[in-house]
Amino acid sequence: MRKEILSSFLRGIILFGLFIGSLNAATFSDKQIETLKLVREVALQYPNSAGETFENTAMAICLTETSAGVFKIGDIGKDPNIFNASLGIMQVRLQTARFLANKLEWTEVIEMSDVKLANKLLGDDRFNVTMAVKYIVWLNNYTKHHYFRTVSRYNGGNYNHPYYSRVMKNMDLVRRKANLN
């Protein structure tokens, strides 16, 4: 019994050390770098009403939501219905996509069936990022350029301090460690 506890404890310490080491190295895979570059490229195309772009914010959200594209389906454990899940590298929900498409009168999206829209959000990273960035810009304009509320609302809350903190940590990580040149 003691040996099992000690063995589990040591295994935990080793795994924790590996985890911390990977954070310190903060290396991103080539795929993650390509994903972050795509997010930056798309975000630079869509300024808000004040002319600001949200490339760093979008990259940090992508890292927060999917580890920069590692996980493409979220919330599935809460509800096994794919139409209620967060989808793609930016974790966009169908409900959010429909809402935004109606607000922006984005006819192409309005006319898509739920199946086609879900497939597009999962299979077309550029479309997924475009949807997410347009949503970030819409949120920023809607909140009258209140940055904290913009980021918080991306994850479904008006004042989501834990989510905002994670995004800010990931923004710092992207700035310091992701070589996007």
pTM of the complete model? 0.82
Burial of 67 (0-12, 13-18, 19+ CB in 10 A): middle
- Condensed to tens digits (0 to 9), the pLDDT of residues 142-153 reads 999 999 999 999
- What span, in angstroms and rounded, lies between the C-alpha atoms of 130 and 55? 12
Residue 158, pLDDT above cutoff 90: no
Strands 92-93 and 86-87: what pairing? antiparallel
Kindly tell me if the per-residue pLDDT of 92 is higher than 50. yes
What is the predicted pLDDT for the residue at 145? 95
Instruction: For 10-23, write each residue's pLDDT tens digit.
Output: 344 444 443 443 44
Q: What is the pLDDT of residue 113?
A: 97
Predicted pLDDT at 98: 97
Third-level CATH fold of 28-177: Lysozyme (1.10.530)
Question: H-helix or E-strand containing 69?
Answer: none
Amino acid at 92: V
Bridge-based pairing of strands 73-74 and 92-93 is unpaired
| SS3 at position 170 | helix
Q: What is the C-alpha separation between 65 and 90, in angstroms, rounded?
A: 6
Q: Each residue of 32-49: pLDDT tens digit? A: 999 999 999 999 999 999
